[in-house]
Amino acid sequence: MRIFKEYGGTKELTVNVEQGPLSFAVPVSDFPEEFVLGAGNSIILINWNSDINEKNPEHVVLASEKFPQGNRWGYGNVDLQGRLWIATTNDYPLAYLHNYGILFSLNNKLVLEQKLQNLCSITGGFVWDRPMEENKRRSPPFKFYYADTPRKEVVVYDFATRNGGLPKNRKELFSFKLHDTDDHPGRIAIDSRGWLWVPLIGGHKVIEFDPVRRMPDRVIDIPAAKVGACTFGGAYLDILYVSTIGYEYRESHQHRPPGDEGGHIYAIHNLGVTGRPTEPYLMILTALPENVRRAREHWAQLNGMIIPRMKTKSTKSKRSGGEGSSNS
């Protein structure tokens, strides 16, 4: 499995990772050569100088989970507090309409927690929108948009950022079943206005969606039936990258309809909108386990860098009994 980096529009750089089926990759805050990946049922940390091609880089396992049969990590994204959220997916066709899906979060201290259960087994993407009145003391809750692929709908949750975050009050935002279409929403993206960009698996297109009016706006045709994911990129975040699904990644000699270009990534320019920067995963340095500390020191030596060691300070407190019991 490979991770691709588009480099200035002129070439691609890749890293090959052999730890299992890859599902997501997110950057790490303050460490530009580190990435957190979903690999099978493990969440791993790799060190990759993304200016070069690399094969099977060194890695550290941050978390691992025992899943129901067929489940593995699916989509992953980082919230505005730097916490990683991951939904599972299931590769067994018979599990398609069952509720084996689970939403987890990996907090800044590398603690893995279940947040939602009994989701559909095949998960799409999810994004957050900031509340309209952020600076008020009692601002509205964040919105958590989730593509429920098997049910053919995009739903919205209220999302409280405090106490580890928790999506609540699920509501249907848009149902494709009610609009006489057999399309399934894939991994959605959000732009700087808070509008959604929804790829349609089976629909040959991407829909620009206004969540306030709950209505589609522009429709972008894609020369592939299975349009899987959207994300914004480019130097100014003004390019919409759209990935499509090929026809032989699971079954050899799978039938490809005439003219279908599935398996390619498309770059859509001149949309007149920009995306939001990718949030990096934030790990609290004082909470890192020893194996991650050692790996970072080793990688720093390989890259000719110096990682400052954390200095600990012992303090006395009648109330707490010393360092480590206060909130971070």
pLDDT of residue 100: 85
Q: Which of 207, 194, 215, 270 shows the shortest CA–CA distance to 238?
A: 270
Q: Tell me the pLDDT tens digit for each residue of 228-286.
A: 999 999 999 999 999 998 886 555 566 778 888 888 999 999 999 999 999 999 999 88
Domain boundaries, the chain: 94-286
Q: Which of 51, 48, 54 shows the shortest CA–CA distance to 35? A: 48
Identify the CATH number of the domain defined by range 94-286. Answer: 2.120.10.30
Which portions of the chain are predicted below pLDDT 50?
Answer: 10-11, 13, 134, 137-139, 310-328
> What SS3 class is residue 30?
coil
pTM of the model: 0.83
For the chain, how far is it from start to end, CA to CA, in angstroms?
37
